[in-house]
Structure 1
Amino acid sequence: MQGLIIKNVKVYAPEPSGARDIFILGGKVVKVAEAGTAENFNSLPFSVKTINGGGLIAVPGIVDGHVHFNGAGGEGGPLYRTPPTGLSELTGAGITTAVGLLGTDGFTRSLRDLLMKARSLSAEGITAKIYTGAYQLPGPCLTTDAASDIILVEEVVGLKVAFSDHRSSHASLQTLREAVSQARAGGILAGKKGPVMVHIGEGPDRLKPLAEAVSGTDIPVAQLIPTHLNRSARVLGEALEWAKMGGNVDLSAGVSARYGFSEAVDPPGAVQYLLDGGAPAERITMSSDGNGVMTLAGPATGEARPLISPVRALYEEFAGMIRAGIPVETAVRIVSTNPADRIGLSAKGRIREGMDGDVLLIREDGLDLDTVVARGKIMVRDGHAVQKGLFEK
């Protein structure tokens, strides 16, 4: 067994904690102490690796609650199917926990394959979970239904559906209510949260089906996590009202003008808009939508042109929030603490004794990602991947 000590590092846990020494052993944070006390661990009966945290800040590993790590796409034909994501692509973006899901293609892509990809990533060193379901409702499942998937399959955290999108099933409100209730019941029986991740498209109804689904029922508004809510100013405006109702708001880092989504509100600007409008900070999350694809017709030729959401966008927009003046602790909550809480990953999202040893070390000057530690193991050092997936080059 090898321990890891990060000495004299400025910690945001997410709350600012000042200079601290962090001791990680057996994949867990076992001590967060005042800087200068790490020498007390040198006499322990196992080897200890030490990192000098001078000039660095430590934050919890990013929890990406919406990433197509087994590939997505397919609109426009087989040529536009995106490949699976490698381990170092995730860790290189500071992602130590990833929640995978199916997208438009719930027909030729399978939950079984998604589950095995999650298990592969977990075996390689990060934490990977999945959502059951897809755009379709009722959607695919691993067992007999979504509730049973959540109860019986450890990696399944909740249900994925889609609304206000021409590619969705255009399910009735009653069907949506039944699906959300089933996910909630499955979560209760499994000791999980059972959230429902809802893809929101640019259809004219936008968030209206969700508001109507919870209205007049006992369904908690926080059971739903609508995503892609920065896809346009129109959707973001409705997201603000949804957040004021106590609803969750998930922004997509990869859906921004820099990646070709011309109507999107840039993620740091979307966060500031929500905060200025009175949205509770704890209700805001951001995910990558990594490997998600939207296929558009090119303006000149009319040929299909894919827009791909890169996994790396999540770290870029995390740093972008800080550069835009959003406090570090708020940015950390949005990409780590809040998604962990919403999904129900109680050992994630905080640097605290007893939590998983998922830590990012960031260069205070420039905000470049220096080191990534996942479950106590160094995955990235000096900005370069030192651990790669079994079949990565």
Structure 2
Amino acid sequence: MWKLIKNAKLYTPELIEDTDVLIVGKCIAAIGKKLLFPDFVKGDVIDLQGKTMVPGFIDAHVHICGGGGEAGPSSRTPEIQLSQLTRGGTTTVVGCLGTDSVSRSMSELLVKAQALEDEGISSFVYSGAYQVPTRTLLPTLQQDLVLIKKVIGAGEIAISDHRSAQPQIAELEHLAAEARVGGMLGGKAGVVHLHLGEGKQGLQPIWTILDQTEIPITQFMPTHINRTHSLLEQGIQFLIAGGCIDLTAGCDDFPAELQVPAVLHLLHERQILNDRVTVTSDGNGSMPQYNEAGVLVGMGVGSVEVLWRDVRESVLRFGLPMEVALRTITSNVANVLHLEHKGMIRVGYDADLVVLDEDLQVQDVWAMGIHMVDNKETRVWGTYEKHRGP
């Protein structure tokens, strides 16, 4: 099918005013002004009349097959549904396990990722869970990376957290070495996606590995870096040294200066907001609610829609340039994770596109050329969602 999207204010993430985009099948076939269909083609024409169009968002940390469980079996979150992702502008998702690798498994994670792809979006997974030695599909992490297409790295591996397996340095070294060689052999990033808790060690185990081995700093992708002031400062030093850092959106209970909009502003002001900074939602994980006595009084589920909400806020409230903010959930993620044909609006890339209205809210979403969200209404539903289209 051919589609011609006309008169867009296009961020590729770089700005191009009044531009047309031609989609053929799943791919972007042409970008330019006053494009036309060939004489032999009859396709759909969508006139955006100057609205903003950006690359589809990549959320590289979502508990797609459910998360939680720390407050007992009833606190396990349900599987995510397709429209939860698409209505927030996410067209590519990376699934992970968390604390619970007993009632959740890598097999479940992989099958759920394939289900989401069958329903219309792109999906990948990390192999593993909090624990080290970690859970894998095949006997070794290296085999997972080489032989299973959707596996792009290891994670989320927990360090500096009371829920971690308290891994020894040698165990983390071995895991990182396996991820590196497996990534090389499989043509993938092979990153180690690290969950950082509030523990006193912070990033020190990773610095020790970098000091003692030949493993490069870019092999690690630590997340939740904005969890505490101390961890953020460590993350900034990690970034300056050449590493990648991942910020977690939706942390409304954090101090304002640790929330994504303010942190992106801080990094930009210090001129270190580069292509190794990413933002993820940690979506579909559990959100326990405690009273003043520390007693659990309720449970919530993390939303994936906070991804764009927080990045949008960095533009509107802190004046971050749109192209700079967008990179943290598009091209930067694609570069760090080596996701081909993702994260940019470019000829030959997948037709993953998001249209924003005058208030920069998500209005339309295309994933691999399919119109998933039309004028803020879900057009394509997941197989078992309650409110399905005609």
TM-score by length of 2: 0.95
- The answer to whether the Cα contact below 8 Å between 1:75 and 1:294 also exists between their aligned partners in 2 is no
Paired position in structure 1 for 2:148: 153
Aligned alpha-carbon RMSD (Å): 1.5
* Cα offsets for 1:109-140 (capped at 9, x unmatched): 00101100000000011001100000001111
Q: Which residue of 1 aligns with 2:329?
A: 335
Give CA-to-partner distance per residue, 1:206-241, whole Å, 9 cap, x none: 111111111232111011100011112221111111
1:91-130 residue pairs with structure 2 within 5 A?
91-130=86-125
Structure 2 residue corresponding to 1:77, chosen from 68, 72, 85: 72
1:12 lines up with 2:5 in the alignment? no
Task: Tell me, in whole angstroms, the C-alpha distance in 2 between the residues paired with 1:55 and 1:89.
Answer: 27
| Preserved contact between residue 244 and residue 280 of structure 1 (Cα < 8 Å) | no
The alignment status of 1:383 with 2:383, answered yes or no, reads no
| Mapping 1:189-200, distance limit 5 Å | 189-200=185-196
Shift of 1:330: 0.6
1:49 aligns to what?
44
- CA shift for structure 1 position 353: 0.2
Give the number of aligned pairs. 384
1:253 and 2:249 matched: yes
Q: How does 1:357-372 map to 2 (within 5 A)?
A: 357-363=351-357, 365-372=358-365
Paired with 1:218 and 1:235, the residues of 2 have a C-alpha distance of 24
User: Runs of 5+ in structure 2 lacking a partner?
Assistant: none
- Decide whether the 8 Å contact of 1:131 with 1:159 is kept in 2: yes
Which letter maps to 2:349? M
Deviation of 1:151 after TM superposition, in Å, equals 0.6
Do the aligned partners of residues 205 and 360 (structure 1) sit closer, same or farther apart at CA in structure 2, a change above 3 Å counting? same
Structure 2 residue 226 is the aligned partner of structure 1 residue 226:
no
Match of residue 179, structure 2, among 176, 183, 189 = 183
Identity score, percent: 36
SS of 2:13's partner is: coil
AA partner of residue 119 (structure 1): Q
1:58 lines up with 2:53 in the alignment: yes
State the Cα deviation string for residues 144-179 of structure 1 (Å, max 9, x = none): 111100111001010011100000011111111110
Residue 306 of structure 2 is matched in structure 1 by 313
Is 1:171 matched up with 2:167? yes
Aligned to 2:231: 235
Equivalent-residue separation in structure 1 for 2:373 and 2:222 (angstroms): 32
Task: Indicate yes or no: 2:325 matched with 1:303.
Answer: no
**Separation of aligned partners in 2, 1:44 and 1:114:** 44
Relative distance call for 1:109 and 1:263 in structure 2 (3 A) is farther
Distance, in Å, in 2 between the alignment partners of 1:59 and 1:85 is 24
1:142 aligns with 2:137: yes
Alignment partners' CA distance in 1, 2:200 and 2:256: 15
- In structure 2, relative to structure 1, the CA distance for the partners of 1:301 and 1:168 (3 Å cut) is closer
Instruction: Answer yes or no: is the 8 Å Cα contact 1:231–1:263 preserved in 2.
Output: no
Cα distance in 2 for residues equivalent to 1:281 and 1:380: 31
